[in-house]
Structure 1
Amino acid sequence: MTRDVPVAPAPSPAGPSSTARSEALFARARAVTPGGVNSPVRAFRSVGGVPRFIASAHGAYLTDVDGARYIDYIGSWGPMILGHDHPAVREAVAHALSGGTSFGAPSAREVELAELVTRLTGTDKVRFTSSGTEATMSALRLARGFTGRKFIVKFRGNYHGHADGLLVEAGSGLMTNADGPLGAAAPSSAGVPPEYAALTLVTEYNDPAALDALMQERGAEIAAVIFEPVVGNAGVLVPTPDFVDALHRVKDAGALLIADEVMTGFRLSLSGATGLLGLEPDLSCWGKIIGGGLPVGAYGGRAEIMEFVSPQGPVYQAGTLSGNPLAMAAGLATLRTLEADPDIYARLDAYTARLAAGLQDAAHAAGVPISVNRIGSMLTAFHQGAPHGSVGSYAQAAGSDTAGFAAWFQGMLARGVYWAPSQFESIFVSAAHTDAELSTTLDAAHTAYTAAAGAAKGATS
């Protein structure tokens, strides 16, 4: 099986035992950056230990500042579907760099990438931003401007970026207003005014009856329902057919349906999760892969809606670095490489299926209960005894054994495998992962599950 990325030899099971340089950098970072990191999950707070400071990444591997090499299953949280430092992406960015880093004016690459994204997704028009958060908040502003309504609906545990109106029931620190009207909720972050959060109504993912009830009571006030087609920030949660049907019914009340494909867009298929699952949103949001690992976001949809965006329409949205030439070049190279390889998604799916089966076998042999949710190249191994695939909601995911996961995570890290440092995240397989990486990963998983089980028994004896 050939690959465009040279495959490095598998790392040694443990690698360097010292984390001195990462520890020193973390100490320096805490003095000048809140928590020592620029995005919270990087701090390793839910799994313990010192976050690894990365020096380089190539193919399926990360190398930290202490010289340890890891098989990487984060892939910069999704965009590295081709693997790190892919030759086509590297060459495209280098060529773009020779012409300048930012123009503050239109360029041909913006047009080319917009044409490619709209063709592959069946979208009429698209507007680029510099992040997924910008894309989702802009799509919601557009929905409000188009419908003339002010309320939006999101689902508990779905994460759509850190815009104020979306930081409601968006993570583990949940504060639900059980005595309020149907769907009411309080913000899950300090600094979000309750008055603003009150414009966001919340219901349960994969609960079609609850969504129908909310739309029946409040549908005439709702501008849009925003959702993750496949949830990745509560662990991987896959929508049921009945829930997909309920999502489409929100249009009957005049609300727009917004698919947040920042994580799943081009990750699960060339037409994203919406194409794979037969969804028909009015607007979609993208990020990650469409920038090939550089900062990017986008939102798009039907022409009649997108024509409300300034300067053509009354809904204002702007960004100095939107359509950045380096990000556009990286995105074009990534999507063109994906489109030119008709078997890539089948290979990603097959690797991830074998990974899921191997994890279940390793955990079962060690007596550790897990439930693996998987779709395409996304996977979460929940540390709980639910049957395979039965974790379908945030509430079910929250029942996982986070201490057990943390012990297993540390076991994997010590054996050269870099897993997502949270029980409630997806991991991502890339085209650079081969049989060698799979074998090393499953050997590490078997040892880590056995060690975690032994530690748990020792703690209770």
Structure 2
Amino acid sequence: MTHSTDTLADDRNQRLFERAQALIPGGVNSPVRAFRAVGGTPRFIQRAQGAYLWDANGQRYIDYIGSWGPMILGHGHPAVVEAVQKAALEGFSFGAPTEREVELAEEILRLVPSMEMLRLVSSGTEAGMSAIRLARGATGRPKIVKFNGCYHGHADSLLVKAGSGLATFGHATSAGVPPEVVQHTLVLEYNDVAQLEEAFALHGSEIACVIMEPIAGNMNFVRASVPFMQRARELCTQHGALLVLDEVMTGFRVALGGAQSLYAQQIPGFAPDLTVLGKVIGGGMPLAAFGGPRAIMEQLAPLGPVYQAGTLSGNPVATACGLATLREVARPGFYERLGERTRSLVQGLEGAAREVGLPFCTDSQGGMFGFFLLPQLPQDYPQVLRTDGPRFNHLFHGLLGRGVYVAPALYEACFVSAAHTEEDIEATVAAAREVFAELVRS
């Protein structure tokens, strides 16, 4: 097994982190990268190829972060690299329409039937906040419902934690967000049908939308139950609110049609009113989208009164990357093979934990998976919080020291790519078996 280079006298990761901390808050440009939750020094990545990352020390890792989801083909897929190189030679940005924007929109709409029109943007946060604004504009209502533990980007009205009582309004979770900004945000527990029903009973005529992750990847990996999703759809329809599915993480990651296609197989006639997409549709480039039926989307400027704009929206290099990625994942059998590889991993991890009597459970869909140091899968955020934090930190560093890179926080999902091999899976399970044995002894 390959082990960590943290103890080397010449640790370039450490030296880079020290330089970064003098220049960038926390030394990172997105908080989870700082390793604050798990301790230790962040790895500064030098390059990536296929299923692997190499850090500044030259250490190789099997990558289960995949840039937090986009790298479904693995790093440096030849067809994607070729498309990006060609696009870059034609120009980085125009601030004007391109044919490729149309082609990408056509491809996404072909694969996600609930969407008749879409708007391309540059990030999941931008797509999420724009979908909320559109829902409010289309319904003329102020209130939104979100769920504790679901993350929809860092827009002010979405940085909210649960209130103190049933169906109460939430409280801002970030400094700089005034109380009046979140006064119209209701925060409920995920998978709690009774709370959702009460929220609509109390505020139904004022609710513009319900926004949720169909598989909550910011609680590690927690599925919306079918009864919960079905009741959300029914209540939104009954009260004239919009159901917004945040598929930034799950879109084209768990299935070709996203998580909504899986629920449509179990709930007759199921479809969201708006869908938020990101990550995979950009193939690793900054690109996201939101879309839905024509009647709702035509409320956007320049056709309607809801304003949204962006200089880099539909960037020609990003759309080339996303379009090449979608054409690869749409090939027959892609998701069957990806899902089989992911299941092989999680089953191997479960078996290794069972061998030593460690409480451990997993779940996966397509190329997305999560695991918990718990005897059974949690259904909401308070249950996720029961995971043993110090034990998870030991597990994280034990895997990292053996060349396996999983998310550096127990609340984040992980990802398998088409580039992961059977040998990668076997090496990962072998590394986990060693760390699990350490956890039981400690």
Q: TM-score w.r.t. structure 2 length? A: 0.96
CA deviations over 1:80-121 (Å, ceiling 9, x no partner): 000001101100000000011000000011010011111110
Mapped partners of 1:269, 1:362: distance in 2: 27
Judge conservation of contact 1:377–1:429 (CA < 8 Å) in 2: yes
The one-letter code matched in structure 1 to 2:228 is: F
- Do 1:373 and 1:391's aligned partners in 2 also have CA atoms closer than 8 Å? no
Identity between Structure 1 and Structure 2 (%):
52
User: 1:337 offset after TM fit, Å?
Assistant: 0.8
Q: Secondary structure at the match of 1:266?
A: coil
Return the alpha-carbon distance in structure 1 between the equivalents of residues 5 and 408 of structure 2.
20
Per the alignment, residue 121 of structure 1 pairs with 112
Does structure 2 retain, via aligned residues, the 8 Å contact 1:55–1:63? yes
Q: Which residue number corresponds to residue 346 of structure 1? A: 336
1:50-449 → structure 2 map (5 Å cutoff): 50-122=41-113, 123-169=115-161, 176-178=162-164, 182-249=167-234, 250-278=236-264, 279-340=270-331, 342-386=332-376, 390-449=377-436
CA distance in 2 between counterparts of 1:37 and 1:102 reads: 26
- Partners of 1:109 and 1:177 in 2: CA distance: 44
TM normalised by structure 1 equals 0.92
Deviation at 1:377, TM superposition (A): 1.9
SS in 2 for 1:105: coil
Q: How much is the aligned-residue C-alpha RMSD, in angstroms?
A: 1.2
Q: Distance in 2 between matches of 1:57 and 1:431?
A: 14
Counterpart contact for 2:4–2:400, Cα < 8 Å: no
Q: Displacement, 1:373?
A: 2.3
SS at match of 2:87: helix
Q: Is contact 1:41–1:421 with CA below 8 Å preserved after alignment?
A: yes
Structure 2 partner of 1:8:
none
Contact 2:123 2:286 in 1 (8 A): yes
Q: Secondary structure at the match of 2:160?
A: coil
Name structure 1 gaps, 5 residues minimum. Answer: 1-11, 170-175, 457-461
Residues in 1 aligned to 2:37 and 2:439: alpha-carbon distance in whole angstroms: 16
Task: Report if aligned partners of 1:16, 1:67 keep a CA contact under 8 Å in 2.
Answer: no
Q: Which one-letter code corresponds to 2:62 in the other structure?
A: I
Task: Please say which of residues 223-232 and 357-366 is displaced more in the overlay.
Answer: 357-366
* Offset of residue 353 of structure 1: 1.1
Deviations, residues 360-401 of structure 1 (Å, cap 9, x unaligned) = 121122332112122222111111222xxx311111111101
Q: Give the residue type in structure 1 aligned to 2:308.
A: Q
How far apart are residue 15 of structure 1 and its match? Answer: 5.9
Residues 136 and 260, structure 1, Cα contact 8 Å, conserved in 2: yes
Aligned mates of 1:30, 1:15 — CA distance in 2: 22
CA deviation map 1:159-182 (0-9, x unaligned): 00000000012xxxxxx4426x83
* 1:319-354 alpha-carbon deviations (Å, 9 max, x no partner): 0000000100000000011112x1111111111111
Deviations 1:187-206 (A, max 9, x none): 11111111111111011111
The amino acid that maps onto 2:242 is L
Quick one: which amino acid aligns to residue 119 of structure 2? R
2 CA distance for matches of 1:421 and 1:256?
34
Work out the CA distance in 2 between the residues paired with 1:377 and 1:331: 17
Amino acid at match of 2:150: N
2:49 and 2:167 map into 1 onto residues whose CA distance is 49
AA of the residue aligned to 1:254:
G
